[in-house]
Structure 1
Amino acid sequence: MTIFPAIDLKDGKAVRLTKGAMESAKIYSDTPWELVKTFEEMGAEWVHLVDLNGAFAGEPKNLEQIRLIRQNCNVKLELGGGIRDEATIKRYLELGIDRLILGSIAVKDPDFVKAMAAKYPIAVGIDAVDGYVAVEGWGEVSSMKATDLARAFADAGVEAIICTDVGRDGTLSGVNVDFTLEIARASGVATIASGGVRDESDIEALRATGEIEGVIVGKAFYEGTIDLKRFF
Structure 2
Amino acid sequence: MILYPAIDLKDGQCVRLLRGEMEAATVFGDDPAAQAAKFQAAGCEWLHLVDLNGAFAGQPVNAEAVEAILSRVTVPVQLGGGIRDLWTIEGWLEKGLARVILGTVAVEEPDLVRQAARAFPGQVAVGIDARKGRVATRGWAEETEVMVTDLARSFEDAGVAAIIYTDIDRDGAMGGPNIEATEALARAVSIPVIASGGVSSMADLTALRDTGVIAGAISGRALYDGAIDLAEALAALKA
TM-score tier by shorter-chain length is over 0.9
Matched position secondary structure for 2:177 = coil
CA contact (8 A) 2:10 2:52 kept: yes
**Residue in 1 that maps onto 2:152:** 150
CA contact (8 A) 1:6 1:48 kept: yes
Map 1:212-223 onto structure 2 (within 5 A): 212-223=214-225
> 2 CA distance for matches of 1:153 and 1:184?
13
1:90 Cα deviation after fit: 1.1
Partner AA of 1:62 in structure 2: N
Partner AA of 2:93 in structure 1: L
1:224 Cα deviation after fit: 1.2
**Residue in 1 that maps onto 2:237:** none
Q: Deviations over 1:187-209 (max 9, x none)?
A: 21100000011100000101111
1:55 Cα deviation after fit: 0.2
> 1 CA distance for matches of 2:224 and 2:87?
34
Map 1:53-92 onto structure 2 (within 5 A): 53-92=53-92
Partner AA of 1:125 in structure 2: G
Matched position secondary structure for 2:144 = strand
Matched position secondary structure for 1:167 = helix
Runs of 4+ displaced beyond 6 Å: none
Gaps of 5+ in 1: none
How many matched pairs? 232
User: What TM-score results when the alignment is normalised by the length of structure 2?
Assistant: 0.96
CA contact (8 A) 1:126 1:164 kept: yes
**Residue in 2 that maps onto 1:2:** 2
CA contact (8 A) 1:148 1:186 kept: no
> 2 CA distance for matches of 1:11 and 1:187?
36
> 2 CA distance for matches of 1:84 and 1:122?
12
CA-atom RMSD in angstroms? 0.7
1:186 Cα deviation after fit: 2.2
Map 1:177-188 onto structure 2 (within 5 A): 177-188=179-190
**Residue in 2 that maps onto 1:163:** 165
Map 1:91-106 onto structure 2 (within 5 A): 91-106=91-106
CA contact (8 A) 2:202 2:233 kept: no
Matched position secondary structure for 1:78 = strand
**Residue in 1 that maps onto 2:206:** 204
**Residue in 2 that maps onto 1:229:** 231
User: What TM-score results when the alignment is normalised by the length of structure 1?
Assistant: 0.98
CA contact (8 A) 2:170 2:197 kept: yes
Tell me the percent identity.
Answer: 51
1:38 and 2:22 aligned: no
Partner AA of 1:36 in structure 2: A
